[in-house]
A and B are shown apart, each in its own frame.
Chain A
């Protein structure tokens, strides 16, 4: 087994070991020590991941087709399934697949998890279920790493469900709170809705392929990205492929809290804040994006259109709601949904690298923001309302500064992490607009660019609002202000994450790593599918044919001879993006600073104005999604249940009662038969036996002499009879 694979397996299994240990011995190990055990395990994972990364990067074996290095694919036969689909080996395989993306994800997940573990030791101290918290975190670490290392879609789904379980357990960690347990259930059910779609997609895929190993998937269906409507790959029709892609994407909708199923994520903030940072901001919710990245080559243009629509809807909606939320964690939650929308949009518009790049940078700064909010909440004695904060920068300066760095990063300030990844996505979206226009598809396609650009301004605004209300101005709640304080064990992770948020975009080489991944994947696809297989990760949707190109005069840059067509369009998109988004962070932040300089006074005046107050109410109530779902689904189910209940009472009960009456009638007849005939026979037999018994009872007097008398009397009688007979004969 190659060294990176060994190290990554160790990294995956260490949290499992921690989980097993804590499950059985957690209570005995005790409150501070259980956290140390779990932190040690995840720290070991982190070290192993770093080791694997170094080993990976230093192994620069030249392989064909320009790939930096060859991906590691280790498969083991698991279940014999016989011949299923067109490309089956006859076995259901389990295995690990390692490429640069895997390593990037491993490093990110273990790093964030390690920092969250350290933070949790401080944050959760004093909780009576402290060891259990770290038990769950261990299970989550194992599940998340297993998800990332999975080589087949089936395996991916298994770990997918495992992280869902961990999420459920950790949201409902304080299950005494009704809201927490409700939120856990809500999250679980919303994820199940998405998983149904995933299972449908997986079923289609499995039925037609029989071999769901990721490279095999790409090699077999890799041309889906440029497939035209009506065409087919083998027996896989275009429509079926589209349905399959959308089905698989439904899993991502649930897990990544996209538009129709996003309602669970804000409620999930009922869980402990470190959990929100780790699971509901940095890692698990990004699993949906990761899934999209892994199935990217098999998505048809129409499936990608669907994904892009979902993404753009989500990011716009969530950003608008985030403006008016007053709970600090709710603001961050909606910001997370919005950023996830960016990633999903990236997948939809064909910016594979951009989406995953944003995933990793977002993990850094969103974990930072959540842990910062955790520090604030801890300092403020679990007060989460922004209206109760203010002026905390003087009390908890480290938190304030690191939080500000996070805000700047998410706002897209140049040279910080979010700037690079977000720009990459927006550039692709702009390029998509050009391409669509060039193919004469109409101006609506520009929505994929325009809306995210507007949201980029909004993002900067609401994040700065959050910071201003928390740390700036005069304290609005004296009591909270007076008791605020911070601990090193909690702000050290913040500092580390702040550094990562600054350098994560430019200096860590994450995007380079992801570019390698594309090359590696293409290499392995060509190994399997032959030289004819195309560049499966670079298919820029909706380019079904690379020969169609927008007129040169519409592009802002002159086409350079050596740049390919897609690259040319992309360059044009980049220029357009820079023109519109370049100063978005400054405008958004500046507006927020101006409005919230003196606390809530200006904002309150603004929201009192007639058109604004309606919007405010609408947004404050989260666009009434919960109410809508409540009335449509819960009410619908309730109405259906009333109808069904009536049906039950009238029809089913009628039938049952009729049957019962019939049975009863039969029973009466049968009873009479029993009573008079059968019982009569039985009683008669008993009476006969009794009569005989009472007759026989008379001689059974218990007196020996009577017995002797009878004995001799009968003997005498017998002798006498015999003698008489003999004598008479003779």
Chain B
């Protein structure tokens, strides 16, 4: 069976769902951050796969990869900021349990 675009898309869907579920069921802030990373990877897989399976005459050659590249860079940046926030959070609550961050609760 020749691997087609559908395979990659289904795999990306699985990655996405796993990321979402991770975000939903983790109480650890870092775990949630990992879920976000999964979601971003799912998007990247989609981008690269679409780029790969585009018709040659579409005139689009590398845009998907470049998008993915930017996403990776931004994910790294996001991770850095998120970790800084998490450290600050930890400093204030002596924990990274997001359930404790309910000061805004009305």
Contact = CB atoms under 8 A, between A and B. Distances in A.
A703 B24 contact: no
A697 B106 contact: yes
A708 B20 CA distance: 9
Nearest to B25: A705
B6 interface: no
A118 B105 CA distance: 91
B103 A702 contact: yes
Given A703-B98, A704-B98, A709 B24 contact: yes
Contacts of A708: 23-24, 32
Contacts of A700: 105-106
A507 interface: no
B27 interface: yes
Given A712-B20, A712-B24, A705 B104 contact: no
Contacts of A697: 106
Contact of B27 (A701, A705, A709, A712): A705
Interface in B22-36: 23-24, 27, 32
B99 interface: yes
Contacts, number: 32
Contacts of B98: 703-705
B102 interface: yes
Contacts of B27: 705
B99 A705 contact: yes
A703 B98 CA distance: 7
B23 A712 contact: yes
Nearest to A693: B106
Nearest to A708: B23
Interface string B4-31: 0000000000000000100110010000
B83 interface: no
Contact of A701 (B20, B23, B32, B105): B105
B101 interface: yes
A702 B24 contact: no
Interface in B50-105: 98-99, 101-105
A472 B105 CA distance: 108
Give the contact-size bracket for chain B.
10 to 19
Nearest to A702: B105
B102 A702 contact: yes
B23 A703 contact: no
B106 A703 contact: no
Interface centre among A700, A701, A708 (most CB of B within 10 A): A708
A702 B99 CA distance: 9
A709 B103 CA distance: 19
A151 B106 CA distance: 87
A704 B89 CA distance: 13
Contacts of A701: 102, 105
Contacts of B23: 705, 708, 712
A709 B99 CA distance: 13
A703 B20 contact: no
Nearest to A705: B98
Nearest to B98: A704
Interface string A683-723: 00000000000000100111111001100100000000000
Contacts of A704: 32, 98, 101
Contact of B105 (A703, A705, A709, A712): A703
Contacts of B99: 703, 705
A663 B69 CA distance: 80
A376 B53 CA distance: 133
A42 B51 CA distance: 112
B86 to A, nearest CB: 12
A703 B105 CA distance: 7
A171 B102 CA distance: 84
Contacts of A703: 98-99, 101-102, 105
Interface string B32-47: 1000000000000000
B20 A702 contact: no
B35 to A, nearest CB: 9
A697 B104 CA distance: 12
Contacts of B101: 702-704
Nearest to A697: B106
A519 B24 CA distance: 122
A386 to B, nearest CB: 97
A701 B104 CA distance: 8
Contacts of B24: 705, 708-709, 712
A675 to B, nearest CB: 32
Contacts of B102: 701-703
Nearest to A703: B102
A702 B20 CA distance: 20
A621 B92 CA distance: 99
Nearest to B29: A704
Nearest to B23: A708
A550 B8 CA distance: 151
B81 to A, nearest CB: 16
Nearest to A713: B24
A359 B27 CA distance: 114
A587 B20 CA distance: 137
Contacts of B20: 712
Contacts of A712: 20, 23-24
B34 to A, nearest CB: 14
B77 to A, nearest CB: 21
Contacts of A705: 23-24, 27, 32, 98-99
A712 B98 CA distance: 17
A703 B104 CA distance: 8
A689 to B, nearest CB: 15
A708 B39 CA distance: 14
Nearest to A704: B98
Interface string A79-122: 00000000000000000000000000000000000000000000
A701 B24 CA distance: 16
A701 to B, nearest CB: 6
27 contacts: A697-B106, A700-B105, A700-B106, A702-B101, A702-B103, A702-B104, A702-B105, A702-B106, A703-B98, A703-B99, A703-B101, A703-B102, A703-B105, A704-B32, A704-B98, A704-B101, A705-B23, A705-B27, A705-B32, A705-B98, A705-B99, A708-B23, A708-B24, A708-B32, A709-B24, A712-B20, A712-B23
Interface of B: 20, 23-24, 27, 32, 98-99, 101-106
Given A702-B102, A705-B24, 8 more contacts: A703-B98, A703-B99, A703-B102, A703-B105, A704-B101, A708-B23, A708-B24, A712-B23
Closest 7 CB pairs of A and B: A702-B105, A702-B102, A702-B104, A704-B98, A712-B20, A700-B106, A708-B23
